[in-house]
Structure 1
Amino acid sequence: MVNHTIMMNAMIGLHAFHGVWSIVIMGVIGASMTQTGSASGAARFMFAMCWLNIPTLIYLTMSPRFPRTKILAHPYWLMGMNTIYSILWFAAFVSLAVYTNGGISDGESKETDENKKKAGGCAVFQAGTGETEKACTLNKSSIILGVFMWFVWLATTGIAGYAAWYFKQHTISPFDDYKSPSHEIQEATQAAFSSNDDYAPLNRTTPHQQEDFDEYDTEASRPPTHGRSGSVASSTYNSTYSYGEAAHPGRPLSWAAEREPYAGIGGHAPIAPAHGDAMMPDIPDDYSYRGGGARG
């Protein structure tokens, strides 16, 4: 079983080596280009590859790390970038090696100094290319460094190739698949049916929402107030909202038989019957409180 965490850390470490090694090669090949004579196209190509490494390494290392950029870090694209740079670095050091060896070969046939011809190698390089012997030595060093760079790109290409194969088999990048699917399903099931508010998504409420719920529960559970001690507002509120049906702005309340009608300030208003024909109460005969006499 491949440890994907170790693989991801190895990938990041190899890309970090790419960045440091690019600076080293840039310094060596740059010193070769500043020597007497015009710099070769092969040397310029390797120097340009060092600069091109910078944006590519930023993409390869940063895009998989952030949720908003993961869409750019498709396993096939990562494999493609690593493959392209493996080919380019192979072409870079091979072209510089061909140029350097060609200059040495041409110098052996053109060199007139017997001592230099006898020494061979970079001693006759100037006769073949016009550059100094030091430029030839720096080119050889750059070739060796370029070979190491190519091997590291091959390693990252292999890891990216495995990630692309894994993605094809499981439709997920191995760098994101740290847990087995069964383990994730088990955790999700436990969280859904958990009574703990910290783990149950359906029970999660904000502190302000919880305060509102507590206040509503307290008001709704308060028994109805009747008599002279109760106010109109409290009587109306309790008679309307405290009989098993929660109040809601968008839900009309039904007038059931068991619902208590409005009782007024003193609680002495007549109550209509729940069933049958509604009848008005008898008119009292005594109107003495109004200053009139009894009806005769």
Structure 2
Amino acid sequence: MALSEMLNINPDRVPNIKAALHAFQAVLAVVIFALGIVVFRDGDAKIVGNNGWPFGLCFLSIPALIYLALAPRSERTRKIAVPNVMLVVDAVFAIFWLSAFASQAAYNTANLCGGACNVSKAIVGLAFFELLSWIFTTLISTYTLRYYQQNGDLPGYEKLGAGQNIDPDKAAFSMAPHDEEAYTPCQHG
């Protein structure tokens, strides 16, 4: 029994689910980044490694999100979308966001947040959801690796863009006739 049958996952939906999760991660990272600035700007809050790590991780996540979300989507870049590497990147960033979540919580526990404790608590909450989304993408990457090992291609990514191939003779600015007889041989008189 194949893994997709056991989990009842449609392989064609994997690219869109993974892209949506990575978009969600990017939005959360931007919000965490903005809230981190609010905490930094508070006069009574201390800037230490515990609140600097989640802030810096927002920047560190950008290349990973670009690689994970975009590399498998294009036919040209699919060769660098290695399922093993995608799984490792997802798992490493899940661990990173776990540490960022815990780091910001420790910052709050140490009462270093001054007058921005509510904002700092919001960062903890958002970092938790960021962690959950990285866990989900790690599970999807695990599925992608298993699918790749069984079938030799990435689930659903091979079909992206299929059906978008336009016949060059029927393209919008082609000089070829656009009627039903576009391919009839010309009769020379």
Residue in structure 2 matching 1:153, options 123, 129, 134:
134
- In the alignment, is the contact (CA less than 8 A) between 2:18 and 2:137 conserved in 1? yes
- In the alignment, is the contact (CA less than 8 A) between 2:19 and 2:69 conserved in 1? yes
- In the alignment, is the contact (CA less than 8 A) between 2:28 and 2:130 conserved in 1? yes
Shift of residue 26 of structure 1? 0.7
* Paired position in structure 1 for 2:164: none
The one-letter amino acid paired with 1:135 is: A
Distance 2:72 2:158 in 1: 13
Q: Are 2:153 and 1:172 equivalent residues in the alignment?
A: yes
Distance 1:139 1:93 in 2: 11
* Paired position in structure 2 for 1:260: none
Residue in structure 1 matching 2:96, options 82, 88, 93:
88
Distance 2:147 2:40 in 1: 44
Shift of residue 171 of structure 1? 2.5
Distance 1:25 1:67 in 2: 33
- In the alignment, is the contact (CA less than 8 A) between 2:73 and 2:157 conserved in 1? no
- In the alignment, is the contact (CA less than 8 A) between 2:71 and 2:80 conserved in 1? yes
Shift of residue 175 of structure 1? 2.7
Shift of residue 30 of structure 1? 1.4
In structure 2, relative to structure 1, the CA distance for the partners of 1:71 and 1:177 (3 Å cut) is closer
Distance 2:26 2:105 in 1: 23
Residues 232-276 of structure 1: CA distance to partner in whole angstroms, max 9, x if unpaired?
A: xxxxxxxxxxxxxxxxxxxxxxxxxxxxxxxxxxxxxxxxxxxxx
- In structure 2, the gaps of 5 or more residues are 160-182
Distance 1:177 1:58 in 2: 19
TM-score by length of 2: 0.75
Distance 1:164 1:83 in 2: 13
Distance 2:135 2:157 in 1: 23
* Paired position in structure 1 for 2:46: 38
The one-letter amino acid paired with 1:71 is: K
Shift of residue 59 of structure 1? 1.1
* Paired position in structure 2 for 1:3: 10
Runs of 4+ with >4 A deviation: none
Residues 61-93 of structure 1: CA distance to partner in whole angstroms, max 9, x if unpaired?
A: 111122221111011111111001000000001
Residues 21-74 of structure 1: CA distance to partner in whole angstroms, max 9, x if unpaired?
A: 111111111110121253121111100111122221111111112222111101
Distance 1:24 1:76 in 2: 30
* Paired position in structure 2 for 1:254: none
Residue in structure 1 matching 2:71, options 42, 63, 73:
63
Residues 146-169 of structure 1: CA distance to partner in whole angstroms, max 9, x if unpaired?
A: 001100111111100111111122
Distance 2:14 2:157 in 1: 12
Shift of residue 177 of structure 1? 5.8
- In structure 1, the gaps of 5 or more residues are 104-124, 179-206, 212-296
The one-letter amino acid paired with 1:139 is: S
The one-letter amino acid paired with 1:149 is: E
Q: Which has the higher helix share?
A: 2
Distance 1:18 1:153 in 2: 8
Distance 2:83 2:105 in 1: 33
Distance 2:122 2:27 in 1: 16
The one-letter amino acid paired with 2:131 is: W
Distance 1:30 1:21 in 2: 14
1:140-219 paired onto structure 2 within 5 Å: 140-176=121-157
Number of equivalenced pairs? 155
